[in-house]
Amino acid sequence: MDLPEQVIFVIERIHAAGGQAWLVGGSVRDMLLGRPVQDYDIATTLRPDSIEGLFPDLRPYTAGKRFGTVSVLINGTTIEITTLRGEDSYTDSRHPDRVYFISDIESDLARRDFTINAIAYDPLAQYGIVDPFMGRHDLAARVIRTVGDPRERLEEDPLRMLRAIRLAAQLGFDIDKCTWQAIKRLHPLLDKVAFERIRDELSKLLLSPCLAAGFDHLTSTGAINMIFPRPGRADLSPGQAGIISGIDPVLTVRLAALCFYLYPGKSDTEIMDMLKSLRFSRAEAKDAASLIRGFKALLTYDPEPYNIRKLLSIIGQKDMSSLIVWYAEAARAHNSRRMSDRYSKIRQMYEEILQNRDPVSLKDLAITGRDIINAGIGKHKPEEVGEALRTAHDWVLHNPKLNSRDKLLEELLRIYSH
């Protein structure tokens, strides 16, 4: 297996200090699958103080030291080095309540969530793979299975239920039957899990290649009701799940679509508040709400260039393109002639607007507030300056050819005589 030299460097240094070291977790899993590795986690017999002392030249990051983790950044790659450990329950924080350091790798692997995440690999040893729970077997069979009894392991940390669903969607794996049944039975325990942890898994899930399968697991196990409480419990239909999986893999866009289908009756401000309570950032919640507003506009407005330009001026080109893809997916899922005709129209108008570089935003306008003031508008009523600017903007949204300084000022002066 090909490893970056930074990883070899770290492992060699640990060996030189008399410690043992293994790559563990997602990095081993992804390497065995031939997938790109996101981050490298190393487990070691050395204690956190010794790890920190080993890399004085790299100024190790020690925020996780209490839990045994010291990180180093080498040439842009972050490597987390964690002392072998066992742990108690996770009640509600992001870290286990209590950890204790141990010295054998197998016990460290035993606390891990799934067999495919419980493989260790020492690249410097002759036969370096440690795989006590047959993780490689499950990798080959493409199955997510808990290490040990599913009920015990999911009760111990209910977030693992969402992790199972997320990993299945990310890797295109099945969930082992006993593990799945335990999720179905225990999903109410998810209400004990910190929102931040749920948000992180949900975010990864929403960007997964097999998202539709992920939604299927979320609804069939009932887990979705613990993340998105709905009194009526109307579930996401397979058609809706398909729409969301077909749209741009951008977190806020997929979140917006998910909320739009789960909460058809809620206003976009209510959805924004709900997303904030799920610990999404204010900016993410706002963006999702504006996408929902935009999508509703696409569904209802007459497909005219003015309306498209106006929407574009409000939400910007990136979100607008995403909305149009969303609309196309919805038209396809509903198999609706009317929607697909409208889609073609909207799409064509949108492309023309971009091609012609029609002025859409206030910034594209040929005049500024300063020009309006200099023309003498608003001398007695200052609020007229902003009003005139908005009026001119609206004219240009109707007719891009009007966007010249002289024409706009001339027209404005006709209305705002001074």
Query: Which of 38-46, 251-259, 312-320, 362-370 is the region at the interface with ligand ATP (rule: CB under 6 A)?
Result: 38-46
Query: Which of 2-10, 127-135, 154-162, 337-345 is the region at the interface with ligand ATP (rule: CB under 6 A)?
Result: 154-162
Among candidate residues 369, 367, 377, the one with its CA nearest the CA of residue 407: 367
Among candidate residues 232, 233, 160, the one with its CA nearest the CA of residue 190: 160
41 binds ligand ATP (CB under 6 A): yes
For residue 328, which phi and psi values (nearest 5 degrees)? -60, -45
In this structure, are residues 123 and 14 in contact, taking their beta carbons and an 8 Å threshold?
no
Per-position x/- string for 19-38, each x denoting binding to Mg ion as judged by CB under 5 A, each - no binding: -------x------------
At 81 the three-state DSSP class reads strand
135 binds ligand ATP (CB under 6 A): no
Which of 38/107 has CB closer to ligand ATP?
A: 38
Find which of ligand ATP, Mg ion, none residue 157 binds, CB within 5 to 8 Å per kind: ligand ATP
| Neighbour count for residue 145 (Cβ, 10 Å) | 25
Which of 117/240 has CB closer to ligand ATP?
A: 117
Cα end-to-end distance, the chain, whole Å: 78
Which of 160/309 has CB closer to ligand ATP?
A: 160
Buried/exposed 231-260: b ≥16 CB within 10 Å, e otherwise: eeeebbeeebbbbbbbbbebbbbbbbbbbb
284 binds ligand ATP (CB under 6 A): no
65 binds ligand ATP (CB under 6 A): no
Shortest spacing between CB 263 and ligand ATP, in angstroms: 28
Query: Which of 58-66, 99-107, 112-120, 264-272 is the region at the interface with ligand ATP (rule: CB under 6 A)?
Result: 112-120
Query: Which residues between 249 and 278 bind ligand ATP (CB under 6 A)?
Result: none
- Residue 281: how many CA atoms within 13 Å on its side-chain side? 6
342 binds ligand ATP (CB under 6 A): no
Cα 129 to Cα 125: distance, rounded to the nearest angstrom? 9
Cα 33 to Cα 258: distance, rounded to the nearest angstrom? 30
Which of 70/389 has CB closer to Mg ion?
A: 70
Cα 262 to Cα 236: distance, rounded to the nearest angstrom? 6
Per-position x/- string for 37-66, each x denoting binding to Mg ion as judged by CB under 5 A, each - no binding: --x---------------------------
Find which of ligand ATP, Mg ion, none residue 150 binds, CB within 5 to 8 Å per kind: none
Beta carbons within 8 Å of 381's beta carbon, 6+ residues apart: none
Which of 41/235 has CB closer to ligand ATP?
A: 41
- The beta strands (E) that lie in 118-205 are given as 120-121, 129-130, 143-144, 174-175
What is the binding site for ligand ATP (CB under 6 A)? 25-26, 38-39, 41, 112-113, 117-118, 157, 159-160, 204
Binding stretches for Mg ion (CB under 5 A): 26, 39
